[in-house]
Structure 1
Amino acid sequence: MKKRIALSLALLAGLAMGATTANAADIKATGSWQVDAVFSGDNFFSGAPTNQKTVTIEQRIRTSFQFIANENLKGVLEVQYGPGAWGGTEGLRLGDNGAGRGAASTADNALHLRKAYIDFNWPGTKNRFLVGHQSLSLPAAFGSGSAILDHHMSAAAAIIPITDSISLVGGYTRPYDGNNDGTTTTNNDHGTSADAVFLYSNMKFSGFSVNPFLAYLNAGANVLGANSGATTGLAGMDAPGVGSDNGLRSYWAGTSFNVTVLDPFKIRGDINYGKATYNVGSNNDSGRSGWLADLAVEYTGLSMMTPEVFFVYSSGEDGTTGKSERMPVLRTQNWGVGSFWMQGGSSTINRNNSAESSLGFWAAGLSLKDIKLIDKLSHTFNVIYFKGTNDKDIISATGLTAAANYGRMLTEKDSLVEIDLNSKYMIYDELSLGLELGYIFTDFDKNVWAAAGSSDIIDQNAYKAAFMLNYSF
């Protein structure tokens, strides 16, 4: 009896091993492991004690796995540990920041799932489908990403080739859901989700490419939880003076473009427009609408560097309540100009002035990119002038607090000059040592911000020095 049982177990084990072997997937791992030491001062320009000189040491471990069945099918899993600050009792100071599943996936200070999706081609075609939690972005040529939609979120997307030069990309995503379904408190209200659809075209021809796009969002009145709607719960969709939480409908249209026919000159740019209408009963005029455009010209004829000049403009508030003249923003994490005032640096410590909070400015700048004077050592130098396009009375007239907006929202009376020098030394092909230096000269209108209720506006300059060790594989 024991022999028969042992034989049966052996046969089952053999069958299981055979099945496992028959369905085994090749595993490919990639990642970026980074440790930062950041010295910074007066990053909120107020000189308040909490914003004075700080030294922070953090690390972030980002690892991605591809489970490849064949050339037409794979699964992708990416996890991130941190950023976690040194100094905790177990070595790193980690923990959930309380953002919850309905929020914008900002719990970066803990171990979390960054991507998990299935990537496959439909049999017999080149039509590609990606289903699950993935990276989504509308087309963008400048600014390191889209200023409208550029984040990780649950979605179903399709890439359909039309010709050798044209393909269509479209899909559906649910970036927010206020019904936590047992994670915290189940929300039984109506309108708990935000649902969006998008469509854009990749059109590449000899000497130029263009990427027109459309996107539409419908967000409920309880999208971030009971009585927590999109109009005030989502920073990129709110308007000054909107006192209640409501749902909304929003659409975006625009294009990005790249021109290389004038080589060694290359031109790239973006034109974005968006409009959000709030569901607030009889007051149908409330909402948010605006635009953003940028243009960059670089010269690639030099071997030691690539000079670039650029200009960015985004519409700003006119000082009235109930309606915003800034472009609505769904969710973005990579868009930025420069590498200090706005998000855009390689270090994990940044002001995080994303498009959700800082639109309403124009900027002109010069970059000297990929400066190579010594083997394995490269530099990028930026000098940028920022000027606000928001009406000077926007803060006091609409009740927005200076504490939440000073240093992030620029009025027409405010300006900044940012100077960056970012360097990278390649120790090995996979290991780099970086140093980011930044300084911001400020010119805020003290009368504007003092009238808005801030008592510590002293127009302080800011600086940072970030050391980075990065292992990429």
Structure 2
Amino acid sequence: MKKLIVLALACAAILGLAATAPAATEVRMVGDALVYGVYYSNRNFTGWNPAVWTSAAGAYKGAGAKTEENFQIWERFRVRTDFIASEAVKFRLSLKVEDTWGHGTFTAANPTTAVVPYQAYLQFKIPGCAAEATAGLQRVDLPQSKLFYASPVFGDNAAALVVKSPLVDKTLSVVAGFGRLIDTNRTYDTTTTQVADELDLYFLALPIAVEGFKATPWGAVAVAGKNANYFTNKSSQYGSAYYVDDLASAGTFLSPTLWKNDQNAFWWAGGAFEVTALDPVKFYADVIYGTGAQSDRKKSRRAGWFLDAGAEYTGFDMLTPQVFAWWSTGEDKSTVNGSERMPIVRPNWGPGNGFLFDDSQALVKDSNVGMSPVGSWGLGASLNNISFIERMTNRLTFMYVGGTNSARAIRYLNDLMGSNPYFTMGRDLTVNEYVLGVNFDTKYMIYENLAAIVETGWAHGEFQQSVWGHRLVSQSRDGDTWKVSFGLSYKF
């Protein structure tokens, strides 16, 4: 009980700041709470844990050492407080607590409270112009057409400086930013020899909007230090991959291992497009090329393409039909010539609230399969905003996902390393594999700010035994993956 005092003190600190703020400062508080149960069967298509990296040096444990817990109850509550000095200056502090009932904060006898700041930033207008700067822990999304939720390259909270400014009123603007994603050793390196232990991201976008059309050309550069901790930092919100999986090539693990250079540059160039001139028919598309470590050993280089496109019809009152497709380059037959998959940093991409990808699920934990958006192709359809009953909306989405990776490349690394975290069955598909996914989601507004939510998902995968081994593939054939999440969402 005493440990819960930490949470009370955090809330008191917010109220104390509000009470002692200058008279001219306006304080606004909003927040949300989620309480929901999740029944999830056959995680990773096996019901077993995936392979995981266990040290910054690249040690790992193979898949299938643990069995899943089918049912958990999650609770998350968040408070966002804005301290507004004027129209030109404000500061936001956002705190959250998130855990399962019976664990951590929600343990009955000896709770271990964990209050996490997930946003903390200063936002102000630059004097003498219309530009706005935001500095601190904030949401950063590289441009993406809105049908696909967020970026396959980066979409998450990050410590960053972002400047936005209009160039031509209501037509052209600029967004420029810098984020420090990893700084492993912080103030001092571990010895008197300095090492490159940071991962930094620079980005620039030029949103262009005219009647019926919007285009956002953009570019990003990441500078990746060799000694940043890529092996134990998760690179997805769902926790299905690590930074090393998404940035490095498979050849990085061949002798001599890891990168040769102390620092490697990765860069991306892309465009997000939305066409509404034919409203109620709307079109969406994205084109991205990314590459990295091109000055390193040939086997350590990585480069590839990612394309998506979709359309929706918004002319019906009771539903919105959507169709979508995507394609990305995959590994060729050789590992020694580097990777042909586009490097990514922290993806948050997916259409139709799909069960297969980590995207827009309202009930966030245990919410999806966690497939990689690169090294795959797919198509799908969604009936969104279905509304035949007052206060109730539904969504039905179907997806088919195939692989673009050579079976030979994945098999070679698996033969060399055994079950490893770099390639994971169900997350990374060969050209001979596929996954089917369906999700049906329902929201019922009990009151204006209180919703009952049910999210269901089902997935079936066909995998190659010669690539992943008899044990994992045989287990995947015993039953499909599915989930049922049900709970309450309150916003205030």
Corresponding residue for residue 13 of structure 1: none
Corresponding residue for residue 30 of structure 1: 30
**The one of 235, 247, 251 aligned to 1:237:** 247
Question: Deviations for 1:407-453, whole angstroms, at most 9, x for unmatched residues?
Answer: 211111111111111000001111100001111122222333227x8
Corresponding residue for residue 88 of structure 1: 103
Quote the Cα distance in structure 2 between the aligned partners of 1:145 and 1:89. 31
Quote the Cα distance in structure 1 between the aligned partners of 2:329 and 2:27. 47
CA 370–378 in structure 1, closer or farther in 2 if over 3 Å, else same: same
Structure 2 length-normalised TM: 0.81
CA 21–248 in structure 1, closer or farther in 2 if over 3 Å, else same: closer
Quote the Cα distance in structure 1 between the aligned partners of 2:472 and 2:456. 29
- 8 Å contact from structure 2 (residues 370, 427) kept in 1: no
Corresponding residue for residue 88 of structure 2: 72
Quote the Cα distance in structure 1 between the aligned partners of 2:111 and 2:177. 33
**The one of 397, 414, 419 aligned to 2:412:** 397
Quote the Cα distance in structure 1 between the aligned partners of 2:325 and 2:399. 9
Q: CA RMSD in A?
A: 2.9
Instruction: Note if 1:211 corresponds to 2:222.
Output: no
Runs (5+) with no aligned partner, structure 2? 1-18, 49-63, 236-241
Corresponding residue for residue 175 of structure 1: 181
Corresponding residue for residue 239 of structure 2: none
**The one of 251, 255, 268 aligned to 1:252:** 268
Aligned length: 435
Instruction: Note if 1:111 corresponds to 2:124.
Output: no
- 8 Å contact from structure 2 (residues 104, 114) kept in 1: no
CA 313–67 in structure 1, closer or farther in 2 if over 3 Å, else same: same
CA 227–69 in structure 1, closer or farther in 2 if over 3 Å, else same: closer
Bigger radius of gyration among the two: 1
Quote the Cα distance in structure 2 between the aligned partners of 1:363 and 1:455. 22
Corresponding residue for residue 319 of structure 1: 333
The amino acid that maps onto 1:192 is D
Instruction: Note if 1:450 corresponds to 2:462.
Output: no
**Distance apart, 1:95 and its partner CA:** 9.4
Quote the Cα distance in structure 1 between the aligned partners of 2:386 and 2:94. 33
CA 271–92 in structure 1, closer or farther in 2 if over 3 Å, else same: farther
Quote the Cα distance in structure 1 between the aligned partners of 2:392 and 2:367. 27
Give the SS at the match of 2:82.
strand
The amino acid that maps onto 1:349 is K
Instruction: Note if 1:366 corresponds to 2:381.
Output: yes
**Distance apart, 1:154 and its partner CA:** 1.1
- 8 Å contact from structure 1 (residues 442, 461) kept in 2: yes
CA 382–227 in structure 1, closer or farther in 2 if over 3 Å, else same: closer
CA 439–223 in structure 1, closer or farther in 2 if over 3 Å, else same: same
Quote the Cα distance in structure 2 between the aligned partners of 1:372 and 1:133. 37
Corresponding residue for residue 303 of structure 2: 289
Question: Deviations for 1:339-359, whole angstroms, at most 9, x for unmatched residues?
Answer: 32221222222366657x452
Corresponding residue for residue 152 of structure 2: 147
Corresponding residue for residue 393 of structure 2: 378
The amino acid that maps onto 2:291 is K
CA 311–333 in structure 1, closer or farther in 2 if over 3 Å, else same: closer
CA 406–238 in structure 1, closer or farther in 2 if over 3 Å, else same: same
Give the SS at the match of 1:442.
strand
Corresponding residue for residue 5 of structure 1: none
Corresponding residue for residue 267 of structure 1: 283
Instruction: Note if 1:425 corresponds to 2:444.
Output: yes
Give the SS at the match of 1:223.
coil
Quote the Cα distance in structure 1 between the aligned partners of 2:303 and 2:192. 30
Give the SS at the match of 1:324.
coil
CA 157–220 in structure 1, closer or farther in 2 if over 3 Å, else same: same
Question: Deviations for 1:19-68, whole angstroms, at most 9, x for unmatched residues?
Answer: 96755421111222111200111121125585567001011112211110
Question: Deviations for 1:62-121, whole angstroms, at most 9, x for unmatched residues?
Answer: 221111011111001111211x0111386349999xxxxxxxxxxxx9421111111000
Quote the Cα distance in structure 1 between the aligned partners of 2:218 and 2:104. 49
The amino acid that maps onto 1:324 is S
Name whichever of 303-312 and 29-38 sits farther off: 29-38
Instruction: Note if 1:298 corresponds to 2:308.
Output: no
Instruction: Note if 1:387 corresponds to 2:402.
Output: yes
- 8 Å contact from structure 1 (residues 273, 290) kept in 2: yes
Corresponding residue for residue 138 of structure 1: 142
- 8 Å contact from structure 1 (residues 47, 456) kept in 2: no
CA 352–302 in structure 1, closer or farther in 2 if over 3 Å, else same: closer
Give me the identity figure in percent: 29
Structure 1 length-normalised TM: 0.85
Corresponding residue for residue 200 of structure 2: 195
Instruction: Note if 1:348 corresponds to 2:348.
Output: no
CA 55–168 in structure 1, closer or farther in 2 if over 3 Å, else same: same
CA 119–325 in structure 1, closer or farther in 2 if over 3 Å, else same: same
Give the SS at the match of 2:311.
strand
Quote the Cα distance in structure 1 between the aligned partners of 2:354 and 2:75. 19
Quote the Cα distance in structure 2 between the aligned partners of 1:438 and 1:227. 29
Quote the Cα distance in structure 1 between the aligned partners of 2:363 and 2:393. 16
CA 358–126 in structure 1, closer or farther in 2 if over 3 Å, else same: closer
Pairs within 5 Å for 1:57-68: 57-68=73-84
**Distance apart, 1:186 and its partner CA:** 8.0
Quote the Cα distance in structure 2 between the aligned partners of 1:185 and 1:192. 11
Give the SS at the match of 2:127.
coil
Name whichever of 373-382 and 325-334 sits farther off: 325-334
Give the SS at the match of 1:241.
helix
